[in-house]
Amino acid sequence: MKNVTLQLFNEEKWWDAANISFAGEQMASGVTLAYLPQYIKDVHSYGMTDCWACSVNAPVTMTPIDYESWPALLDDLLPVGKSRDWWLNYLNVSRRSEFEQNYALLTHACMSPIGNLRIKEATSQLNAHNTQRFSINDVAQLQHGFLEYANEQGAAVGGATGAGGVAPKLLLMVENNEVYIDGDFAGKRLSATPYLTKFARNTRSARDNNILRAEGVFYQVLSKILEGTSIETINVSGMMTLEHQSQVSLWLPRFDVQVDNSIATRIGVESIYSMINAGPGSYQDHFFVMENIWNKIKATTQMSSQEFAKQYLARDLLNLAFGNSDNHGRNISFLKLEGDIQFAPIYDFAPMKADPEMVTRLFKWGKDCEEGGIVRFDNVVKELTEYCKPDELMAFLNSLAEKLIGVPVLLEQHGCPREILEFPAIGFNNLESKLANFGVHNG
């Protein structure tokens, strides 16, 4: 029987938290998560599902948690997209079964994913004597020397992030305009800024680069229209968009890392797919997702049901308004804090309706509330009375819609590429009528 050890970072150290055992070597084989007795004894968080738990589905308890098949919790840790491809080739397992691939990735590539979890068996890959530095321009230009270094460090310290998408990504440290890779910074003094650095996806065409340019602009505009609300997005004060020969790199400050008294700490992050234990890329009904998640976090979160509903609906309205059709369950995550669970800042927020791969919405509203890309939010709120009064929800959405009307002007002011501003399928030119069709604006 194969096993791995899950480690959790809290209180300035990594804890051996749980044993994961695999009953067989198939994706459909059973998997058991069992917290280690010493961990339960030491952390005094019995029954909790916050930052001390491996998942909202696995409260800290003596009772093992049995999964009928491969748990989505582990998908959050695995490298995805380009990073997964690199690791499979590096480990020479690209022709193995999916289970064998995933197990190899767990034990070699999951030494430092986003969040406060890692696989202990993978940490032997960490380089403790890493002193090389590169200029930001070397990285933006993807210079050969930097790429060799990145490969030596594990192609981005354990991959991109399971809480993200398929665009090429690197987890980097920046200090005094110099870049280095460090997957073992937690619990140590840190003066550098941790970044998730994205490069254009697909073939890195002019369109692909415009989508990435626009993503950076979107965060700037989001930060303006969300002022005065409890909804957060990427910290734009530290964000950078760099360009070399028309190739863009977007540098996003990580929201899963914070520095307290000069010591770096990691914040727990869990994606919606993990929380509802659903496979990557699966279609879901928003109503089911909301009910499932709320039932799992309501005993821990400090959010009211009203705030939960407003934050959830706001994210979908924003996706629709900005043409972000890539709304799957890895693009919304929750932060797991001490005694609290909150929405993570809005991330992976790009005009994916312009993507040549024709990315479509995977999460949709049931109960005849969504058809042909049109969501009737005035009908949606009537189905959410267990969370919030419909009038209160509509007033919130109406207020957000009023701010959205000015988005095309803000996008232009912040340098959004003309191709994206005028892309027909996104419809910034007729945003006001779109909002009216969504039932959130009277025109």
Cα separation of 184 and 186, whole Å? Answer: 6
Is residue 144 over pLDDT 90?
A: no
Query: Is residue 76 classed as helix, strand or coil in its secondary structure?
Result: coil
Mean pLDDT of 318-342: 96
Res 443: pLDDT: 67
Quick: pLDDT tens for 31-59: 999 999 999 999 989 999 999 999 999 99
Cα 31 from Cα 21, distance rounded (Å): 6
Find all residues with CB under 8 Å of 91, minimum gap 6, and list them: 104, 105, 108, 109
pLDDT of residue 161: 38
Is the model's pLDDT at 305 over the cut of 60?
Answer: yes
Residue 148 burial (CB count, 10 A): 10
Provide, rounded to the nearest whole percent, the portion of the chain with pLDDT above 90.
Answer: 82
Tell me the pLDDT tens digit for each residue of 422-432: 999 999 999 99
Distance CA 89, CA 184 (A): 24
> Higher confidence at residue 317 or residue 199?
317
Q: What is the pLDDT of residue 132?
A: 86
Give the per-residue pLDDT at 373: 86
CB 202 within 8 A of CB 354: no
Mean pLDDT of 176-203: 92
Mean pLDDT of the 125-153 span:
80
What was the pLDDT predicted at 162?
37
Q: Which two tokens stand for residue 172?
A: 């980097």
Q: Residue 154's pLDDT band (boundaries 50, 70, 90)?
A: low
Asked if pLDDT for residue 152 goes beyond 80, the answer is: no
Q: Percent of the chain, pLDDT > 70?
A: 96
347-381 pLDDT per residue, tens: 999 999 999 998 999 999 999 999 988 999 999 99
pLDDT at 90 over 80: yes
In this predicted structure, what is the pLDDT of residue 157?
A: 47
Cα dist from 266 to 57, 79, 335, whole Å: 20, 18, 10
Question: Once rounded to an integer, what is the mean pLDDT over residues 206-229?
Answer: 97
Q: What is the pLDDT of residue 31?
A: 99
**Is 307 a residue whose pLDDT tops 80?**
yes
**pLDDT at position 151:** 74
User: Residues 179-186: what's their mean pLDDT?
Assistant: 90
pLDDT at 170: 86
**Mean of the per-residue pLDDT values for the chain?**
93
Q: What is the pLDDT of residues 389-430, one digit of tens each?
A: 999 999 999 999 999 999 999 999 999 999 999 999 999 999
Cα pseudo-dihedral 223, 224, 230, 231, rounded to 10: -40
Measured CA to CA, the distance from residue 19 to residue 21 in angstroms comes to 6
With beta carbons less than 8 A apart as the criterion, state whether 126 and 184 touch. yes
Q: What is the pLDDT of residues 281-291, one digit of tens each?
A: 999 999 999 99
Asked if 301 contacts 342 with a C-beta cutoff of 8 angstroms, the reply is yes
Cα three-residue angle 297-300-305, rounded to 5 degrees: 60
Strand runs labelled E in 192-246 = 193-199, 240-244
Per-residue pLDDT, 156: 45
Domain 266-437, CATH number (from 1.10.1070, 1.10.3470, 2.60.40, 1.10.150): 1.10.1070
Q: Which residue has the higher pLDDT, 97 or 261?
A: 97
What are the boundaries of each domain within the chain?
2-117, 123-258, 266-437
pLDDT at 163 over 70: no
pLDDT at 128 (0 to 100): 66
Q: Which helix (H) or strand (E) holds 14?
A: strand 13-22
β-sheet bridge partners, residue 119: 6
- The pLDDT score that the predictor gives to residue 129 is 67
The reported pLDDT for the residue numbered 148 is 77
Per-residue pLDDT, 87:
86
Cβ neighbour number for residue 16 with a 10 Å cutoff: 15
